[in-house]
Amino acid sequence: MRENHLRTLFAKKKPALNGWASIGNSFVAELLADSGFDSVTVDLQHGLFSIESAVPMLQAISTTNAVPLVRCSENSLGEINKLLDAGAYGVICPLINSREDAEKFVRACHYSPRGGRSYGPARGVLYGGKDYFEHANRTLLTLAMIETRQGLEAALEILSVPDLDGIFIGPSDLAIELGLRPDAWNDPLLTNAISTLTAQAHALGKYVGIFCGSMEMATQMKALGIDMITPGTDVQLLRAETSRRVEALRG
């Protein structure tokens, strides 16, 4: 089965850079993936598109060296099965607030006896290889999003779930839950929570990813030792560079 490069980077303790595809266009997803990212996440939670659009985006990412990931819209076995069958090599699942939520998520991502995933990998075999079934449970990446006060408090129980590879921190929602603005990434209350989550995960040998809305935040999160850094969405990157060029020419 095709190697999951993110697992290799984690084993070598090297940070991964993750692109974020929310526009819902295969060409944009391909551009992101071809820009040097180690992985690209197709976002079905906040991206304004459905599974039908996610499939060609995954196909486009697969023409590059970037690992194709997805963020599902919810903790649903049916949707997660479809996305894995479509060739996703890892799933970020939003709103994991308890051990029970994490168990449900892990079971959706794994074949029996560990999980309840139904067999029908379709494009997963095309991307992963003919021995997909034998190695899928050990190759695909499972990341539970911690983005609520409840999830923060239950983090150790969530991280203790067998075969959950790690967590993905949603800093904006977590900030809101802590009574802060969604962009208060440098507030000590939030940075302490992020540092605690990172330490808890690494103590258990688990992976940590985070979304960053600015380069300043991304630089700080890298310094904290977080394993996967997402330096903004395709929309944010497009807007930032467009604004920079317009302002430079007007100035």
Residues carrying an active site annotation: 46
3-state secondary structure of 57: helix
What does residue 26 show for φ and ψ, rounded to 5 degrees?
-65, -35
Which DSSP string do the residues of 93-133 spell out, in sequence order?
ES---SHHHHHHHHHHHS-TTT--PPS--THHHHHH-TTHH
What whole-number distance in Å separates Cα of residue 5 and Cα of residue 13? 12
What whole-number distance in Å separates Cα of residue 171 and Cα of residue 30? 26
CB 60 within 8 A of CB 66: no
| Matching residue, tokens 């935040």 | 217
3-state secondary structure of 228: strand
| Matching residue, tokens 């985006």 | 57
What whole-number distance in Å separates Cα of residue 189 and Cα of residue 185? 9
Angle formed at CA 51 by CA 48 and CA 53, multiple of 5 degrees: 65
Q: For residue 189, give both structure tokens.
A: 């209350």
